């Protein structure tokens, strides 16, 4: 009798334990499974810079900041040129394609040569002279200005894929072509200025990247004409009047585009 009672008690304990385990397993299955965090993105691998060529190409926008003085011959056909009080001139902004080619002399130093596809820009009067009726905004001429800076740049390469730079150098300033406006037979004298340059390259890999660049030019330019077309203003014929324009040519040049290192 005692043996049967003990066996029944053991059986009931075993059944109860099995039921508890089943309930615990079912409850555990209801809990959300904790997922492993996603793998971190692979870092951009930028190989160390070695001596070699690189090229950049993209959009270029020139903001022409100029301060000009105008001079005209008095009397017409002879005599000295005198400054025209109350009037200056300004050039229109230019948007075009820019190209830059450079060579890394060391991992931190490069020599760069920049240029842009030439575009026409209108040279207009700003203000009205007190000597004769020349309305503000009169087109004096159309020019195709260009400057080619040769700069020495220092590159800061300790920031990984983002590589800023600063530099400076001389720049040849000239005009490819001119078209007459109020002034006729216009010529632009070539000159040399100084350019400051700064920007940054954001490298995608050891060859490809995207660049941002800013240049500031400081140059003194002169242009000359041999006649003045008063017919443009409805005031008479073209007269043989020598004229000059002395310009402090100080544009900002902004550019952005693709860069490739060989």
pLDDT in tens, 20-73: 444 444 444 554 555 666 666 655 555 567 889 999 999 999 998 888 999 988
Question: What percentage of the chain reaches a pLDDT higher than 70?
Answer: 79
Q: What distance in Å separates the CA atoms of residue 228 and residue 218, rounded to the nearest whole number?
A: 29
198 has a pLDDT exceeding 80: yes
Is the CB of residue 70 less than 8 Å from the CB of residue 82? no
Query: Closest Cα partner for 51 from 112, 111, 107, 113?
Result: 107
Residue 116 has pLDDT above 60, yes or no: yes
The reported pLDDT for the residue numbered 79 is: 73
Question: CA nearest 114: which of 70, 44, 168?
Answer: 168
pLDDT of residue 155 exceeding 90, the answer is yes
Query: How many residues in the chain?
Result: 262
**Residue bearing the bigger pLDDT, 154 or 28:** 154
More confident residue, 143 or 18: 143
Domains of the chain, by residue range, sit at 1-33, 52-261
Region of poorest pLDDT, from 30-34, 114-118, 190-194, 214-218? 30-34
Helix, strand or coil for residue 250? coil
Q: Please give the pLDDT value at position 194.
A: 98
**pLDDT at site 1:** 46
Tell me the fold of 52-261. Porin (2.40.160)
Cβ atoms within 10 Å, residue 50 = 11
What is the pLDDT, as a whole number, of residue 25? 46
Distance CA 103, CA 90 (A): 36
Provide the token pair at 199: 């920007």
Q: Check residue 78 and give its pLDDT.
A: 66
Cis peptide leading into residue 55 (ω within 30°): no
Is the pLDDT assigned to residue 121 strictly greater than 70? yes
Mean of pLDDT values over 237-259? 93
- Looking at the predicted structure, is the pLDDT value of residue 10 above 50? no
Q: Compute φ and ψ for 129, nearest 5 degrees.
A: -70, 150
Within 13 Å and on the Cβ side, how many CA atoms surround 15? 6
pTM comes to 0.77
Distances (CA, A) of 136 to 4, 52, 125, 226, 234: 122, 51, 5, 21, 15
């Amino acid at each position: 009798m005692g043996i049967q009672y003990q066996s029944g008690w053991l059986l009931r304990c075993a059944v109860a334990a099995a039921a508890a385990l089943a309930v615990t397993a079912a409850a555990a299955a209801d809990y959300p499974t904790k997922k492993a965090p996603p793998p971190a993105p692979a870092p951009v691998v930028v190989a160390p810079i070695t001596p070699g060529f690189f090229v950049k190409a993209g959009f270029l926008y020139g903001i022409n900041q100029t301060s000009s003085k105008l001079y005209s011959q008095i009397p017409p056909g002879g005599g000295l040129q005198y400054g025209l009080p109350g009037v200056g001139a300004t050039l229109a902004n230019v948007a075009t394609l820019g190209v830059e080619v450079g060579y890394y002399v060391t991992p931190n130093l490069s020599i760069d040569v920049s240029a842009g596809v030439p575009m026409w820009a209108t040279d207009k009067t700003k203000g009205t002279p007190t000597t004769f009726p020349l309305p503000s905004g009169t087109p004096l001429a159309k020019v195709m200005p260009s400057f080619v800076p040769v700069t020495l740049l220092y590159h800061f390469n300790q920031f990984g894929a983002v590589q800023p730079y600063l530099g400076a150098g001389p720049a040849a300033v000239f005009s490819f072509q001119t078209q007459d406006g109020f002034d006729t037979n216009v010529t632009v004298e070539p000159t040399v200025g100084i350019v400051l340059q700064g920007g940054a390259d954001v490298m995608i890999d050891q060859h490809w990247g995207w660049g941002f660049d800013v240049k500031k030019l400081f140059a003194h330019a002169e242009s000359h004409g041999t006649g003045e077309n008063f017919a443009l203003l409805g005031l008479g014929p073209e007269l043989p009047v020598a004229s000059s324009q002395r310009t402090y040519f100080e544009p900002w040049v902004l550019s952005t585009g693709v860069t490739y290192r060989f």
